[in-house]
Structure 1
Amino acid sequence: MQKVLLIEADVAAGEDMLTAAAGLGLETYVATHEELYERYRPELRTKVTGTAFTDFAAPEKALDDLETFCRARGIDGIVAVWEFLSPLATRLAARLGLPGHLPERADHCRNKRLMAEAFAAHGVPAPRTVSAADPQGLAQRIEESGWDYPLVVKPAENAASIGVSVVRSAQELPDAARLAQHQTHKYPHGIALDTTLLAQEYVDGDEFSVETVLFGGAVHHLVITEKFTTAGTSRAELGHTVPAELAPNVRASVYAATGRALAALGLRDGLAHTEVKVDGHGHPKVIEVGARPPGDHIMRLVHDALGIDVARAYLQTTLGRRPDVTPRREAAAAIRFITAPRAGTLRGVGALPQGEHVVATSVTKAPGDEVGDPQDNMGRIGHVMLRADSAAEVNKAAVEAMGSLTVELANER
Structure 2
Amino acid sequence: MAPVTDRPTAEDVRAPRLLVLEAGVSAGAAILRAAAALGVETYVATHPQMHANYSPELKQLTTGTLCPDFTDATAALDELTAFCHRAEIDGVLACWEFLTPLAARLSAGLGLPGHDPVRAPACRNKRLMSEVFTAHDVPAPQTVAARDPGALARLAHEAGLTYPLVVKPAENAASIGVSVVSDPDHLPDAVRRAGAEAHKLPHGIALDTTLLAQEYIKGPEFSVETLVVRGEVQHVAVTEKFTTGGADRAETGHTVPAALPSGMRQAILDAAGRAVTALGLRDGPSHTEIKLTADGRPYVIEVGARPPGDGIMGLVAEATGVDQARACVETALGVRPDLTPRHHRAAAIRFLFAPHAGTLSRVDVPLRSGHVKEVSVTAVPGDELSAPRDNLQRLGHIILRGMTADEVNDAAAQALAQVQVVMK
Quickly name the TM-score band, shorter chain normalised: over 0.9
Question: Quick one: distance in 1 between partners of 2:160 and 2:62?
Answer: 54
Quick check: 1:88 aligned with 2:115?
A: no
Question: Quick one: distance in 2 between partners of 1:405 and 1:234?
Answer: 22
Give the equivalent residue in structure 2 for 1:405. 419
Question: Quick one: distance in 2 between partners of 1:110 and 1:300?
Answer: 24
Work out whether residues 34 and 54 of structure 1, in 8 Å CA contact, stay in contact via their aligned partners in 2: no
Question: Quick one: distance in 2 between partners of 1:103 and 1:81?
Answer: 16
Matches within 5 A, 1:46-195: 46-195=60-209
Q: 1:142 to 1:55 in 2, by over 3 A?
A: same
Give the equivalent residue in structure 1 for 2:4. none
Shift of 1:29: 0.5
Q: Give the match's secondary structure for 2:163.
A: coil
Q: Give the match's secondary structure for 1:46.
A: helix
Quick check: 1:323 aligned with 2:346?
A: no
Q: Which amino acid aligns with 2:81?
A: E
Question: Quick one: distance in 2 between partners of 1:343 and 1:353?
Answer: 26
What are the superposed Cα offsets for residues 344-400 of structure 1, whole Å, 9 maximum, x if unpaired? 111110143432100001011111111111111011000000000000000000000
Shift of 1:405: 1.2
Question: Quick one: distance in 2 between partners of 1:335 and 1:40?
Answer: 23
Quick check: 1:389 aligned with 2:403?
A: yes
5+ residue gaps, structure 2: 1-14
Work out whether residues 334 and 398 of structure 1, in 8 Å CA contact, stay in contact via their aligned partners in 2: yes
What are the superposed Cα offsets for residues 82-130 of structure 1, whole Å, 9 maximum, x if unpaired? 1111111011001101000111011000000000000000000000100
Question: Quick one: distance in 2 between partners of 1:280 and 1:68?
Answer: 52
What are the superposed Cα offsets for residues 52-104 of structure 1, whole Å, 9 maximum, x if unpaired? 22111211111111000000110000000111111110110011010001110
Give the equivalent residue in structure 1 for 2:54. 40
Give the equivalent residue in structure 2 for 1:365. 379
Work out whether residues 365 and 381 of structure 1, in 8 Å CA contact, stay in contact via their aligned partners in 2: yes
Shift of 1:33: 2.2
Work out whether residues 353 and 405 of structure 1, in 8 Å CA contact, stay in contact via their aligned partners in 2: no
Work out whether residues 234 and 375 of structure 1, in 8 Å CA contact, stay in contact via their aligned partners in 2: yes
Give the equivalent residue in structure 1 for 2:230. 216
Question: Quick one: distance in 2 between partners of 1:150 and 1:35?
Answer: 40
Give the equivalent residue in structure 1 for 2:17. 3
Give the equivalent residue in structure 2 for 1:251. 265
Question: Quick one: distance in 2 between partners of 1:115 and 1:5?
Answer: 26
Work out whether residues 113 and 198 of structure 1, in 8 Å CA contact, stay in contact via their aligned partners in 2: yes
Shift of 1:36: 3.1
Work out whether residues 12 and 297 of structure 1, in 8 Å CA contact, stay in contact via their aligned partners in 2: yes
Question: Quick one: distance in 2 between partners of 1:362 and 1:191?
Answer: 31
Give the equivalent residue in structure 2 for 1:236. 250
Question: Quick one: distance in 1 between partners of 2:63 and 2:70?
Answer: 21
5+ residue gaps, structure 1: none
Q: Which amino acid aligns with 2:382?
A: G
Shift of 1:35: 4.0
Q: Give the match's secondary structure for 1:105.
A: coil
Give the equivalent residue in structure 2 for 1:342. 356
What are the superposed Cα offsets for residues 246-283 of structure 1, whole Å, 9 maximum, x if unpaired? 11111111111111101110000000000000000111
Work out whether residues 44 and 62 of structure 2, in 8 Å CA contact, stay in contact via their aligned partners in 1: yes
Q: Which amino acid aligns with 2:237?
A: V
TM-score under structure 1 length normalisation: 0.98
Question: Quick one: distance in 2 between partners of 1:277 and 1:245?
Answer: 14
Work out whether residues 353 and 404 of structure 1, in 8 Å CA contact, stay in contact via their aligned partners in 2: no
What are the superposed Cα offsets for residues 306-337 of structure 1, whole Å, 9 maximum, x if unpaired? 11111100111111110111111110000000
Question: Quick one: distance in 2 between partners of 1:282 and 1:184?
Answer: 37
Question: Quick one: distance in 2 between partners of 1:351 and 1:98?
Answer: 46
Q: Which amino acid aligns with 2:315?
A: L
Give the equivalent residue in structure 2 for 1:281. 295
Q: Which amino acid aligns with 2:63?
A: T
Q: Which amino acid aligns with 1:356?
A: G
Shift of 1:191: 1.2
Work out whether residues 353 and 402 of structure 1, in 8 Å CA contact, stay in contact via their aligned partners in 2: no
Question: Quick one: distance in 1 between partners of 2:316 and 2:111?
Answer: 31
Question: Quick one: distance in 2 between partners of 1:90 and 1:367?
Answer: 43
Question: Quick one: distance in 1 between partners of 2:405 and 2:340?
Answer: 20
Q: Give the match's secondary structure for 1:199.
A: strand
Give the equivalent residue in structure 2 for 1:272. 286
Question: Quick one: distance in 2 between partners of 1:111 and 1:22?
Answer: 32
Work out whether residues 212 and 221 of structure 1, in 8 Å CA contact, stay in contact via their aligned partners in 2: yes
TM-score under structure 2 length normalisation: 0.95
Question: Quick one: distance in 1 between partners of 2:369 and 2:383?
Answer: 28
Shift of 1:202: 0.4
Work out whether residues 365 and 375 of structure 2, in 8 Å CA contact, stay in contact via their aligned partners in 1: no
Q: Give the match's secondary structure for 1:103.
A: coil
Question: Quick one: distance in 2 between partners of 1:152 and 1:203?
Answer: 9
Seq. identity, %: 58
Work out whether residues 254 and 349 of structure 2, in 8 Å CA contact, stay in contact via their aligned partners in 1: yes
Say how many residue pairs are matched: 410
Question: Quick one: distance in 1 between partners of 2:259 and 2:156?
Answer: 36
Question: Quick one: distance in 2 between partners of 1:273 and 1:43?
Answer: 26
Question: Quick one: distance in 2 between partners of 1:176 and 1:34?
Answer: 33
